[in-house]
A and B are shown apart, each in its own frame.
Chain A
Amino acid sequence: MSEQATSKRPVVYLAEYDSPDAIIHAAEGVRDAGYEKWDVHSPYPVHGMDAAMGLPDSGLGWIVLLCGLTGVTAAVVMIQWMNGIDYPLVIGGKPPDAIPSMVPIMFELTVLLSAFGAVFGMLGLNALPRHHHPVFYSDRFEAFSHDKFFISIEVEDKKFDKEKTKQLLESLHSTHVELVEEEVA
């Protein structure tokens, strides 16, 4: 193609590991070195990795709680207004705004909105869908979904240093360290 001024700029270091034991020790090393904008990529969730990375507990439960409360409130308001106020109907000898017969739908709407909260809350917290990410520039990275483990350290990290970061990753017994670059126009 054209010989225009395309230059490459480093974006992320990718270090590869073979086993869960190796990756968890390496993660502890990166955490202790004080990095912040870094991540671990694994084919499945690795037990104890949150602690090894120094991550706090997921806050998703609060989002779900909020959604669940919205669901139960919506059910009560909807049924009370529709059957109790707007068009009162006496059915089965029960008062139009009888509470016991509301319970099944209160429960179902609580579950429905909580489930929406869990799924869309999770996607929101993870900033997904995001089909474009520097780690995908690496040819080796696709092994993450097969059986390999990776650590990525971003250039944006305050502690990032082309040499020192590489030395750190190598000292943590990585089988392969790669500086992933992106093309800039």
Chain B
Amino acid sequence: MSADSPIAEIGETPLVPAHVTAAFVSDEVSRVTEQKAPVGWWMVFGVALMFLGVLLVSVGYLVWNGIGSWGNNSPAAWAWDITNFVWWIGIGHAGTLISAVLFLFRQKWRTSVNRFAEAMTIFAVICALLYPTIHVGRIWFLYWALPIPNQMGMWPNFKSPLLWDVFAVSTYFTVSLLFWFVGLIPDFATLRDRAKNVVRKKVYGALALGWRGSNRHWRHYERAYLILAALSTPLVLSVHSVVSFDFATSVMPGWHTTIFPPYFVAGAVFSGFAMVSTLMIICRQVYGLKDIMTMKHLELMNKIMLVTGSLVGYAYSMEFFIAWYSGNEYERYVFINRATGPYAWAYWTMVTCNVVSPQLFWWKRLRTSIPVMFAVSILINIGMWFERFVIIVTTLHRDYLPSSWGMFHPTLVDIGCYTGSLGLFFTLFSLFIRWLPMIAMFEVKAALPGAQPSHHAAHDEHAEPAHGALAVKEA
């Protein structure tokens, strides 16, 4: 048996039902972009557009009036803005994990999920990039962060983790976009070849770059895909590590810890999988793609959430242990304040959502129940937002000098900038669902049972007569 077929002895079953053929995959997936959008799509798109409007108004107001229209203050100089930035970047990480890391580990089940997750990455990173941009206040001076000559004759400070962030996040965005586009080329060709009207043929044709499925091309294409996966894997680990350096290289109690890079990466994967799961459950329900995005896919993702959720829970407890073990008074206070201070409600919301709720997935009946996994995925999204809020605000609002302690209270503009970013995300995502193949058709086709030549059978076929002839001679 080839390495691609499921191993029945250990309970593996085919990923998709038997009636799923290559033709079925093209028809089912392309259908979504070819037919009129269902009512569910218009509802999501309409609500998303409304919130996009909220974002435009809030950001316009903020840029006009300045950062003071947020609730940020001294000591809480960072608050929702950076919380939202870290939250969105984290969500993006699952896309890269699914497309690159699971690719390197030859996890064939990723093929039904990866296009979807990569799109989510790109839109999440767009939302994330918004916050540092508007947080600089005078956004027309944003170019000072770039290594280009300016009128002051000064260069950016390359020792600053904030500048590392500029490079890390923009590299991440660019590489994710390239990876996504490369994956789309053969599927654009499918849409081009199915197109009935001239506009579709021209647009998808232009995007397909004249792809003709040539094996001489697949040879370089597959190598490029492998290299991009190999590049994206350390990249995705580096991005959230660099984001965590923004905190870890400071001297603030609760931030200045070596656990931050792995802890942030685990949290990012955790929240990203939760978001992929939320979106997938909605889409397979609205579009009836249950044969391609099967319960098995959802269950595997729930298992990953269980693992990363437990890792995050371990990190929370380890932070407390190290705070006590360090003997550092300020460090200890920050953690006591997190769990019992004025933001204790946020801390315990975070623990309930992130550590307790995924533990439900130990039970097979719960991790294969759509309502349970949908509820848990939403709880995780909420919990991970609170995690970043707790890290940022509880450290800042009471640091060293009690005389400079304070509180953070969000304003209407804060709320608009956050909810509005959800509008931006869902607007982009709805457009993606409507016009692009949301499942990587060629990858699913390549992983179907019987899609690859049965080499052993082929060789046996050639070998058999030879052996037969030999046997006859010997006889």
Residues of chain A having any CB pair with chain B under 8 Å = 20-21, 23-25, 27, 39-50, 53, 55, 58, 60-61, 64, 78-79, 82-83, 86-87, 89, 91-92, 94, 98, 101-102, 104-105, 107-109, 111-112, 114-116, 118-119, 121-123, 125-126, 128-133, 135-136, 141-147, 150
Contact = CB atoms under 8 A, between A and B. Distances in A.
B168 interface: yes
Interface in B136-194: 147, 153-161, 163-164, 167-168, 171, 174-175, 178-179, 181-182, 186, 189-190, 192-194
B227 to A, nearest CB: 4
Interface stretch (B6-14, B345-353, B449-457): B449-457
Given A79-B158, A104-B238, A146-B23, A111 B443 contact: no
Nearest to B181: A119
A41 B212 contact: yes
A112 B174 contact: yes
Contacts of A131: 205-206, 209-210
A87 B214 CA distance: 52
Given A58-B219, A92-B159, A145-B186, A123 B209 contact: yes
Q: Chain A CB within 10 Å — which of B23, B156, B171, B206 has the most?
A: B171
A101 B158 contact: yes
Contact of A147 (B23, B155, B212): B23
Given A83-B157, A87-B153, A146-B23, A126 B227 contact: no
B316 to A, nearest CB: 26
Which of A109, A112, A141 counts the most chain B CB atoms within 10 A? A112
B458 interface: yes
Given A104-B242, A128-B217, A144-B213, A82 B453 contact: no
B interface secondary structure, majority? helix
B213 A145 contact: yes
B44 interface: no
A107 B234 CA distance: 9
Of B182, B205, B206, chain A has the most CB atoms within 10 Å of the CB of B182
Given A47-B452, A91-B157, A105 B212 contact: no
Given A44-B451, A142-B193, A147-B23, 4 more contacts: A39-B216, A44-B186, A50-B215, A145-B189
B222 interface: yes
A64 B193 CA distance: 32
A59 B395 CA distance: 51
Nearest to A24: B453
A126 B220 contact: yes
Contact of B210 (A25, A128, A147): A128
Contact of A60 (B153, B190, B212, B224): B224
Nearest to A126: B217
B451 A40 contact: no
B245 interface: yes
A122 B154 contact: no
A166 to B, nearest CB: 21
Interface string B64-93: 000000000000000000000000000000
Contacts of B446: 44-45
20 contacts: A20-B453, A53-B215, A55-B219, A58-B219, A60-B220, A83-B158, A87-B155, A104-B161, A105-B158, A105-B163, A112-B175, A116-B178, A118-B227, A119-B224, A122-B182, A126-B217, A126-B220, A129-B210, A143-B193, A145-B192
A117 B380 CA distance: 37
- Interface-centre pick from B158, B161, B216 (highest chain A CB count, 10 A): B158
Contacts of A122: 182, 220-221, 223-224
The main secondary structure of chain A at its interface with chain B is helix
Given A20-B451, A44-B451, A82-B158, A104 B219 contact: no
A53 B218 CA distance: 12
A111 B231 contact: yes
Contacts of A146: 22-23, 26, 190, 193-194
Contacts of A43: 22, 26, 186, 190, 213, 442, 445
Contacts of A144: 193, 212-213
A45 B222 contact: yes
A130 B211 CA distance: 8
A92 to B, nearest CB: 6
A21 B205 CA distance: 29
A94 B159 contact: yes
A46 B217 contact: no
Contacts of A25: 458
B235 interface: yes
Contacts of A115: 174-175, 178-179, 228, 231
Given A55-B215, A118-B227, A142-B193, A46 B453 contact: yes
B278 interface: no
Contacts of A50: 215, 219
Given A45-B222, A108-B168, A102 B231 contact: no
Contact of B157 (A40, A89, A118, A123): A89
B21 interface: yes
A108 B245 CA distance: 15
Contacts of A91: 157, 159-160
Contacts of A126: 214, 216-217, 220-221
Interface string B29-63: 00000000000000000000000000000000000
A75 to B, nearest CB: 9
User: Which 10 A-B pairs rank lowest in CB-CB distance, beginning with the nearest?
Assistant: A129-B209, A142-B193, A122-B224, A147-B22, A44-B446, A82-B155, A40-B215, A58-B223, A104-B164, A145-B190
Interface in B285-305: none
Nearest to B229: A118
A144 to B, nearest CB: 5
Nearest to B218: A45
